[in-house]
Amino acid sequence: MTINESFFDQVVRTRFAPSPTGMMHIGNLRTALYEYLIAKSAGGKFILRIEDTDRGRLVEGAVDVIYRTLRTAGLTHDEGPDIGGPSGPYVQSQRMSLYLPYAQQLVREGHAYYCFCSKERLESLRSDSDASDVIGYDRKCRTLSDKTVSENLHAGVPFVIRQKMPLSGFTVFEDRVFGKITVPNKELEDQVLIKADGFPTYNFANIVDDHLMGITHVVRGSEYLSSTPKYNLLYEAFGWDIPCYVHLPLIQGRNPDGTVGKLSKRHGATGFDDLIAEGYLPEAIINYIALLGWCPKDDTRELFTLNELIDTFSIDGISKSPATFDYDKLEWFNAEYIRKMSDEDFIVHAKPYFEELQDIGPESYPLMIEMLKPRITKFGQIPEKLSYVNDLPDYDPELFDHKKSKSSAESAKTVLDHSVPILQNLSQWTAEAILTALTDLAEGLDVKKSAVMWPVRIAVTGMPVTPGGAVEALLLLGRDRSLYRITKSLQRLNS
């Protein structure tokens, strides 16, 4: 079967066709992203179609999760259930009247047949499937006479419609990522097209819908590669153009022992919402996910906005080797995006945490942004980084011992003792004034500057590591709170 090239001269149309069965996984999101990029990089259309024919697996609210995720990720669809479009409806359960006539056409033309086998029979077939060399269903009803079929239909015997696979020869197709795929037809099961409940299977509905919606590029996970020959036989039976196939590589997760396996919950959050709740930014997630299976040609860049991805993306850059989802790498992207953020945007994310800090007002926001922007990889780290603001922890006085800074518990006593009146009498509580005062103190005591900065910072924060040094901590806490803490710490050292 040759692909009609003029078909692809048409505007590129891709579709994201999720089944509303739960949350939006990294894998689904990557599929949506690549579909979006393939369409947009060619000036084409990105369509959203909800595949809800598997009624048993539907999860309430899952469609809203899909809308919300696409919106947050910036993957705006051009046609879909919520906005309509020329090839709607875009929800399969609303297209029900459409599928059966197509299946009946296949029956009439000898490409499909009615099957009346009972559930019990099919189950027993499944249990002794080893005994037969036919894959799956044993094709019992494939040879029923027309007379038996029409009698059964008239008598209302429940039925399914199955695809009639060729019994010999090969089906060959070309995947843009995986290359040429050849499958012996005898390995293809006579799959169900219309189920006993009258609903089409995914396998049938996706063909009919992709055709009717003018989808030019079918982009999906590589788990569908093995079914694709069956789809091609359907396209062929109908005489429809075969779309361009782009199957995407598996996404793996790294196990604690360093080995890799199919990405799952045990590797950490795998849903978009969960990652957002953990403090990852949508832009960072999208940027990282874009690189899970694709890399730009002759380009070593890693940071891409969605628009830059549209400009750079090409199917040729998709790899067929599995990609490994690496949380550390995602965190690196997140940190990069936080650093690039404007202060205004930073405040939007940080404000809920800032507001939890006692006696710290918006006048301190610029200082905290300066302290935190280069140092956090997720916004959720703010409470921990600034935990000293609300409470001076019950710290170990050994924290005053710091060789590199030439500080010890003994030297700290002297430094803190002298620092109290100096800080008390500062005419202004500014970074400059504090820095000058503490530098002068070091000179006066004839010690290294760090021998002053270290104990002062420990005294007011009680933490070995803080974002920013002594000056920032003093400035943020304010004069009264700082002096109170230094005095407290001195008492502690002396007792």
Residues marked as catalytic: 265
Q: Are 81 and 90 in contact (CB under 8 A)?
A: yes
Q: In this complex, which beta carbon is closest to ligand GLU, that of residue 231 or of residue 280?
A: 231
- Residue 310's CB: how many other CB atoms inside 10 A? 17
CB of residue 97 vs ligand GLU: minimum separation in angstroms? Answer: 20
Q: Which residue is associated with the tokens 């991805």?
A: 309
Measured distance CA(261)–CA(270) in Å, rounded: 14
Which residue type does 233 have? L
Residue 281 is a binding residue for ligand GLU (CB under 6 A): no
Q: At closest approach, how far in Å is the CB of 202 from ligand GLU?
A: 6
Member of 51, 209, 241, 283 binding ligand GLU (CB under 6 A): 51
Nearer to ligand GLU, 113 or 204 (CB): 204
Residue from 206, 228, 334, 364 in contact with ligand GLU (CB under 6 A): 206
18 vs 296, which CB is nearer to ligand GLU? Answer: 18
Told to check if 25 binds ligand GLU by CB under 6 A, we report no
172's CB contacts (< 8 A; 6+ apart) are 180, 181, 182, 183
Instruction: Give CA–CA dist 488/160, Å, rounded.
Output: 81
Dist. CA 134–CA 91, nearest whole Å: 35
Residues 106-165, interacting with ligand GLU (CB under 6 A): none
Task: Please say which residue, 85 or 221, places its beta carbon nearer to ligand GLU.
Answer: 221
As given in the structure block, the two tokens for residue 99 are 């599928």
Interface region with ligand GLU, contact rule CB under 6 A, candidates 16-24, 63-71, 96-104, 414-422: 16-24
In the complex, minimum distance from the CB of residue 261 to ligand GLU, in angstroms, rounded to a whole number: 20
Q: In whole angstroms, give the CA distance from residue 91 to residue 35.
A: 18
Q: What is the rounded CA–CA span in Å between residue 255 and residue 262? A: 10
Query: Is the C-alpha dihedral spanning 290, 293, 298, 303 positive or negative?
Result: positive
Contact between 200 and ligand GLU per CB under 6 A:
no
Please tell me whether residue 47 binds ligand GLU under the rule CB under 6 A. no
Please report how close the Cβ of residue 101 comes to ligand GLU at its closest, in angstroms.
22
Q: How far apart are CA 463 and CA 143, in angstroms?
A: 80
In terms of DSSP bridges, do strands 323-325 and 112-115 run parallel, antiparallel, or are they unpaired? unpaired
Number of residues counted as binding ligand GLU (CB under 6 A): 7
The least CB distance from residue 51 to ligand GLU, in Å, is 4
The answer to whether residues 228 and 180 touch, using CB atoms and an 8 Å cutoff, is no
18 counts as binding ligand GLU under rule CB under 6 A: yes
Q: Which residue has the tokens 């009146």?
A: 421
Cis amide bond preceding 89, omega within 30? yes
What is the closest distance, in whole angstroms, from the C-beta atom of residue 313 to ligand GLU in the complex?
Answer: 18
Q: What is the rounded CA–CA span in Å between residue 65 and residue 21?
A: 10
Stretch that binds ligand GLU, among 14-22, 167-175, 191-199, 285-293 (CB under 6 A): 14-22
> Is the CB of residue 53 less than 8 Å from the CB of residue 33?
no
CB-nearer residue toward ligand GLU: 19 or 312: 19
> Of the ranges 12-20, 261-269, 301-309, 478-486, which one interacts with ligand GLU (CB under 6 A)?
12-20
Q: Does 232 bind ligand GLU (CB under 6 A)?
A: no
Determine which residue in the list 45, 95, 111, 220 makes contact with ligand GLU, applying CB under 6 A. Answer: 220
Among 17, 213, 233, 453, binds ligand GLU (CB under 6 A): 17
Closer residue to ligand GLU, CB minimum distance, 17 or 42: 17
Only segment of 11-19, 241-249, 312-320, 426-434 that touches ligand GLU (CB under 6 A): 11-19
Supply 12's token pair: 């590129």
Q: Tell me, what amino acid is at 190?
A: D
Contact between 323 and 290 (Cβ < 8 Å): no
Q: How far is the CB of 63 from ligand GLU (least distance, A)?
A: 12
* Least distance from ligand GLU to the Cβ atom of residue 186, Å: 25
Residues composing the chain: 495
Question: Which residues, listed in sequence order, are joined to residue 271 by a DSSP beta bridge?
Answer: 25
- Tokens representing residue 489 in the block: 């710490």
Point out which residues bind ligand GLU (CB under 6 A): 17-19, 51, 202, 206, 220
